[in-house]
């Protein structure tokens, strides 16, 4: 008599990922490891045997969001494991939510996987255990056509407002061949835009003395410019390199050397540089390099080398000791710098940050006034820059294609090379062909603009 053995269903893991793109990469790596151990993924609370919450602990507001997300996961599912930056504050998490099953810190992949194994043991059984699990098809939490490429962990800076070194440690760079191998694998799987991320991309390789490794028959150093050049050699088809976008770039002198790569088309003409402020006094209080005048000269030279370059940055208003004169200095600097994309943050004390002990805190009402004034200036600059693009034809990568409306017209949205996903603007397209798909790169004639976004139509080829 024949008998049939029924294999047990795979245990399912849900994931809530908060914070920056670096944390998103951590989430992808954790889920990839768990899938290799036989777990399936759940897109909702109800279907999960356990839920992972990858937290952010950079600002108090981010901690509150993380605690709220943990509470929601407990209410909806009940079986929750916490990881990420706020995991360093396990006592605070357990005080707010004593029901959590386990708490681990940032990028502690082994501990997270062990916690899942303990609280939701894999149910593969002896038969499935003999089957090799997939290892060459990593889980992605971003669309197929763009991917974050994390090149290092940690940071060697000691900025007064930041606790990242306490959360993620000192700079720890990945081997250059490992970075390039991952990038090559991503492109082969359909990635058309690589977003290079770290805490300090310009410092990549400093901790390992820019150790070279063999790659494609030659030696390549673990250095930002060498890495950027190699990434520009990848091919998404017909000899076309992927869009390679550099984030978190401190303006060290060697950054100048990536501008020719942008001019040659090997690197996306985009730099994300965390200036944080312009006033020399405030920069000194922040423990940041106070070279704002030299930066203005370099911005000018960068635009001469590569006129298409877009520069994004973020600034903190209301830092302790910031006077009205300091703030006016920042506004005047922004008027001269004419940055393409700007984000701003009101200063928040972060437990453990040196800035908390500084005198002369700025009142909340003044922070709000300065924030509004800064955003008004940067919005005006952005609107003028985008208006200047009307009538031009620009390459656009498609992020989403809509459904036909009642007239059969199809709309889509995408981004120019001046726009990173999630943080910058978009291009909204009308009357696109039904064959258009996410990840396509098309030429778009810009017809209209507002303060943040562009509107246009695909140019026929």
User: Residue 69: pLDDT above 50?
Assistant: yes
The arithmetic mean of pLDDT across residues 149-155, rounded, is: 90
Q: Which domain holds residue 26?
A: 12-128
- Output the pLDDT for position 36: 74
CATH code where residue 240 lies: 3.80.30.20
pLDDT-derived band at 314 (thresholds 50, 70, 90) equals: very high
Q: At 331, is the pLDDT very low, low, confident or very high (cuts 50, 70, 90)?
A: very high
Q: Determine, yes or no, domain membership for 136.
A: no
Q: What is the pLDDT of residue 162?
A: 64
pLDDT of residue 252: 87
Cα gap 348→90, rounded to integer Å:
21
Q: What is the pLDDT of residue 99?
A: 93
pLDDT at 26: 83
Lowest-confidence pick of 83-87, 206-210, 367-371, 431-435: 83-87
List all residues 6 or more positions away from 241 whose beta carbon is below 8 Å from its beta carbon: 231, 232, 233, 234, 235, 265, 266
Residue 304's pLDDT is 97
Do the domain assignments include residue 253?
Answer: yes
Asked whether residue 367 falls in the same domain as residue 220, the answer is: yes
Say whether both 332 and 233 belong to one domain.
yes
Total tally of structural domains belonging to the chain: 3
Among the candidates 368, 387, 406, a domain finishes at 387
Out of 61-75, 99-113, 176-190, 312-326, least confident range = 99-113
Beta-ladder partners of 79: none
pLDDT at 31 over 90: no
Q: Is residue 138 part of a domain?
A: no
Do both 176 and 278 map to the same domain? Answer: yes
Report residue 458 CA to chain centroid gap: 28
CB 362 within 8 A of CB 322: yes
In a domain, 42, yes or no: yes
Whether residue 258 contacts residue 223, with contact meaning beta carbons closer than 8 Å, is answered with no
Domain stops at, among 128, 162, 185:
128
Do 116 and 210 reside in the same domain of the chain? no
CATH code at position 41 = 3.40.50.12160
Average pLDDT estimate for 45-50: 92
pLDDT of res. 160? 64
Tokens 């090379």 belong to residue? 417
Same domain, 260 and 234: yes
Whether 166 and 121 share a structural domain: no
Q: Which of 94, 128, 162 is the last residue of a domain?
A: 128
Q: Is the pLDDT of residue 67 over 50?
A: yes
In a domain, 337, yes or no: yes
**Nearest Cα residue to 99 out of 118, 75, 63:** 75
pLDDT tens-digit map of 353-377: 667 778 899 999 999 999 999 999 9
- For residue 194, being part of any structural domain is answered with yes
The pLDDT value recorded for residue 5 is 46
Q: What is the pLDDT of residues 390-417, one digit of tens each?
A: 999 999 999 999 999 888 899 999 999 9
Helices first, then strands: H and E counts in the chain: 13, 20
4 pLDDT tier (thresholds 50, 70, 90)? very low
Using DSSP, state whether 293 is helix, strand or coil. Answer: helix
**398 and 360 in one domain?**
no
Lowest average pLDDT, out of 34-38, 62-66, 197-201, 252-256, goes to 34-38
Whether 160 and 286 have beta carbons less than 8 Å apart is answered as: yes
What is the percent of the chain where pLDDT is above 70? 90
Q: Is 80 exceeded by the pLDDT of residue 137?
A: no
Q: Residue 421 belongs to a domain with what CATH number?
A: 2.40.50.140
Q: Indicate whether 252 and 352 sit together in one domain.
A: yes
Beta strands in 94-210 (DSSP E): 102-103, 146-150, 152-153, 172-173, 193-197
The residue among 161, 160, 153, 174 whose CA lies nearest residue 85 is 153
HSE, CB side, 13 Å, CA atoms: give it for residue 252: 14
- Which sign, positive or negative, has the C-alpha torsion 133, 73, 145, 20? negative
Mean pLDDT calculated for residue range 205-234: 96
Mean pLDDT of the chain: 88
Is 133 part of a structural domain of the chain? no
Q: Is residue 123 part of a domain?
A: yes
Q: Rounded mean pLDDT of 291-304?
A: 86
Query: Is the CB of residue 58 less than 8 Å from the CB of residue 350?
Result: yes
Report how far residue 221's alpha carbon sits from residue 252's, in angstroms, rounded to the nearest whole number. Answer: 18
Are 380 and 399 in the same domain? Answer: no
At residue 126, the pLDDT reads 40
Written as six digits, the tokens of 266 are: 């090997």
pLDDT score at 7? 43
Tokens 């290799």 correspond to what residue?
36
364, 382: one domain = yes
Residue 439: pLDDT band (50, 70, 90) is: very high
Residue 317, both tokens: 């208003």
Whether the CB-CB separation of 190 and 437 falls below 8 Å is answered with: no
| Percent of the chain residues past pLDDT 90, beyond the cut | 64
Instruction: Please check whether residues 120 and 156 belong to one and the same domain.
Output: no
Nearest to 277 by CA among 325, 324, 334: 334
Q: DSSP letters of 244-260? A: EEE-S----GGGGGGHH
**Residue-wise burial string across 132-166, b where 16 or more C-beta atoms lie within 10 A, e elsewhere:** eeeeeebbbebeebbbbbbbbbbbebebbbbbbbe
Give the HSE-up count for residue 425: Cα atoms under 13 Å, Cβ half-sphere: 23
Say if residue 20 is in the same domain as residue 93.
yes
Quickly list DSSP for 233-298.
T--SSTTPPPEEEE-S----GGGGGGHHHHHTTSS-SEEE---B---HHHHHHHT----HHHHHHH
Cβ-based neighbours of 132, under 8 Å, separated by 6 or more:
none
Write out the H or E segment, with its range, that includes residue 310.
strand 310-317
Tokens coding 347? 């200063």
**Looking at 56-60, 168-172, 332-336, 412-416, which range is the least confident one?**
56-60
Tell whether the torsion through CA atoms of 94, 100, 104 and 107 is positive or negative.
negative
Do residues 103 and 57 make contact, with C-beta atoms less than 8 angstroms apart? Answer: no
């Amino acid at each position: 008599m024949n008998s049939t053995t029924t294999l047990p269903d795979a245990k399912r893991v849900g994931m809530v990922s908060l914070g920056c793109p670096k944390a998103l990469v951590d989430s992808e790596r954790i889920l990839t490891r768990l899938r290799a151990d036989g777990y399936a993924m759940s897109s909702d609370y109800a279907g999960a045997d356990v839920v992972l919450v990858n937290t952010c602990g950079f600002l108090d507001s981010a901690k509150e969001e993380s605690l709220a997300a943990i509470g929601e996961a407990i209410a909806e599912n009940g079986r929750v494991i916490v990881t990420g930056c706020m995991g360093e504050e396990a006592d605070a998490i357990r005080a707010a939510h004593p029901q959590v099953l386990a708490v681990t810190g940032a990028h502690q992949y082994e501990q997270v996987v062990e916690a899942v194994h303990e609280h939701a043991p894999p149910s593969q059984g002896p038969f499935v255990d003999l089957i090799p699990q997939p290892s060459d098809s990593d889980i992605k939490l971003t669309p197929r056509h763009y991917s974050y490429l994390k090149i290092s962990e940690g940071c060697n800076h000691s900025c007064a407002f930041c606790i990242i070194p306490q959360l993620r440690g000192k700079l720890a760079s990945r081997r250059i061949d490992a970075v390039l191998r991952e990038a090559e694998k991503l492109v082969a799987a359909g990635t058309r835009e690589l977003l290079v991320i770290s805490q300090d991309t310009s410092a990549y390789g400093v901790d390992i003395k820019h150790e070279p490794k063999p790659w494609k028959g030659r030696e390549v150093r673990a250095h930002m410019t060498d890495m950027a050049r190699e990434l520009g050699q990848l091919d998404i088809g017909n000899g076309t390199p992927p869009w390679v976008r550099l984030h978190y770039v401190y303006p060290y002198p060697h950054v100048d050397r990536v501008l020719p790569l942008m001019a040659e088309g090997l690197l996306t003409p985009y730099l994300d540089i965390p200036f944080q402020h312009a006033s020399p006094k405030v920069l000194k209080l922040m423990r940041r390099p106070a070279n704002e005048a030299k930066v203005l000269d370099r911005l000018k030279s960068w635009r001469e080398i590569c006129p298409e370059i877009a520069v994004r940055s973020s600034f903190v208003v209301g830092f302790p000791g910031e006077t009205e004169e300091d703030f006016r200095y920042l506004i005047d600097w922004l008027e001269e710098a004419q940055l393409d994309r700007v984000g701003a943050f009101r200063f928040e004390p972060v437990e453990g940050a040196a800035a908390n002990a500084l005198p002369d805190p700025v009142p909340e009402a003044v922070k709000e006034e300065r924030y509004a004034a800064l955003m008004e200036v940067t919005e005006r600059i952005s609107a003028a820059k985008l208006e200047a693009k009307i009538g031009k034809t620009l390459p656009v990568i498609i992020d989403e294609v809509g459904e036909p409306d009642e007239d059969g017209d199809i709309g889509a949205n995408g981004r120019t090379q001046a726009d990173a996903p999630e943080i910058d603007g978009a291009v909204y397209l009308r009357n696109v062909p039904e064959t258009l798909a996410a990840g396509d790169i098309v030429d778009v004639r810009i017809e209209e603009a507002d303060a943040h976004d562009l509107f246009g139509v695909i140019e026929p080829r």
